[in-house]
Structure 1
Amino acid sequence: MEEPMEEPAEEPMEEGGTIAFSFGNEQVGIYKIVAGPARLQAEIRGYEFLEGAANGDCDAQVRDVENFVVQDVDAIVVVPICGIDALAPTLEDAEAKGIVVVGYASEIPETGDGAILWDNRGAGESVAAEALRWFNEDFTGDQNDFSWVLFTYDGCGQPCTDRTDPIRDIITEATGVAPLESEAISIPQGLDDTQVFFQANPNIAMVIGVNDAGAMGAYEAILGEIEAGRDASTFFVAGIDGQNEALELVAAGGGEGGIYRASSSLLLHELGQTVVDLPADILEGKIESGSADAVVHMGYQLMSANSPQDAQDLLNLYAEFTGG
């Protein structure tokens, strides 16, 4: 009796192909610092690099990813800005076509081949620690007449709540004051929401954003308070991501009044390279799809206005992509 023939192992693809990237919020400042290194890395490795243009619109992101699938790209890297469920049917279609799917900021259940993750909880903890250090050592206001604001964005799921939950818990426990909250992830939203909060809560001393963009809107609103006579030393503003404009404020000692005091920063140039390297390595058979090696963990580094040179060093690295 003849031995049954074994199925031939699937051959990894040769170098080259198309990697598509749906960041979802392409209008925010960090995008060009992630996408720029990704484009260069794609060129180095011989891949075409396609980009979405959802600009914060959930339906537009679904259309972007649908278009990538129709174009038969080889890999899709996606930030699910409105959660996985909205993208699930399209990603199932991608899986059926053999397209490699890599989650950015979160893993993609069932259809994902890999993921680029980072220590969001650690980022929130580091910002909260710096906020409390400032509150205990540098805040010149009345600690018994204190309120603070936390900008959230729960729509993006665990990657965002992992940032904001520890901030809320740590500062509330230490001060006995729960935050005022709103969802603000852009400069206009952060500006408007902070101005509204000040109308009913003139004792606001601290604003922390789930990202830098919302926090920078708060910075603009607080400058108005300083112009109206408030002491700059009674304000603390911080965000997460290491957006270029936020790093510029930190590198300048916190900007006007020194109030933008920290950003927990991803090393965005390394992140951009990974956007290409991880799916390329899976496509080329260098990393097995779905394995532990297919999940890459990126760290954060706290940039503080007390150590402005650290932020300036990052800005110098990013200058090629920002035109700075």
Structure 2
Amino acid sequence: MRWIKLEQVAKKILEALMNGLKPEHGDFSSSSLARARTLLRKLGCIAGEGDYITPGVNFDLCLRLFGLKSDEQGELREVRLLLSDIHLGRKTETFNLGVLRIRIRKLIAELSSLTSGGARLLVFGLGDYVDGAGIYGRQAYEQEIDPSDQVVEFTNVFAELFEMADSVYAVIGNHGRTDENESASFDYIALKSALSGKRNAYVSKRYVDVFNVGGEQVLLGHVSHVRAYHGIPDYGIRRFLYSQLARWRGLGEAYLGHFHVFKYSSEPVAWVSNGTFLDNDELSYRMGFTCDVGQAVVLIEDNKKWTGFINLGGAGVADR
């Protein structure tokens, strides 16, 4: 799968539509890029989200139409996968273990393509890998398998992905708790089982922790304690990150799980909120969100970083 920077495509299409008239200072506003993205989608040129986009069905036609070459994509040095909110063990009308396996295969295929040029893969685990049991009322009737089997399934299903990874950094989530007192975590047990014997695997027992990644301080958090206001997590996330900046000087980036919504911003520090493997989630709807079914990636070429999203939706319902 080829990836290409939205800005490159957007500028070309805007120049074509505006007969070569370039905006002042040569920069395009975020609203202009958003309009270009919408038009490119309608043309079937692109799919995907974020600063990086995946080619659509008419990708090659659009490249020829707007004078772009398919090799106008960056050389990736590092691919960072944000992995969270899997909820393995949950069963709804549209999600079960069969659907999860389909989505994992799709994710691995996308990552294999992204790293085919030699880029190394780093995985950042952000919690809620398994769905747990006995913490929330709905778990009594939305559970496909019990927590011990969830741990076994997680180890098996994610073996190939973790094998691909150069390094893994991870925190735990609120759904993995064994009890209300948080005395232990099925998330932690699942990670330790899946990563047994793997070098460069760093697993924290905390919901929020900071890791040194290539000399950069990166905060990983399952932010179930952060409130979303009017269905928007941004304000709560920013308040949380300001408090963390006061604690961790030199914090470079923050990768966050829990909200099941893909968002990213640079205020007050570069942060990305991850999607989920789960659709039709009652809690997300009650918080005012529509689940973004997929996982975020941060793509690094030289000293540049780009945020993208691997869409895993549309797999349909599958039996085990």
Q: Same fold (TM over 0.5)?
A: no
Tell me which structure has the larger Cα radius of gyration.
Answer: 1
If each structure's helix is expressed as a fraction of its own residues, which one has the higher value? 1
TM-score by length of 2: 0.30
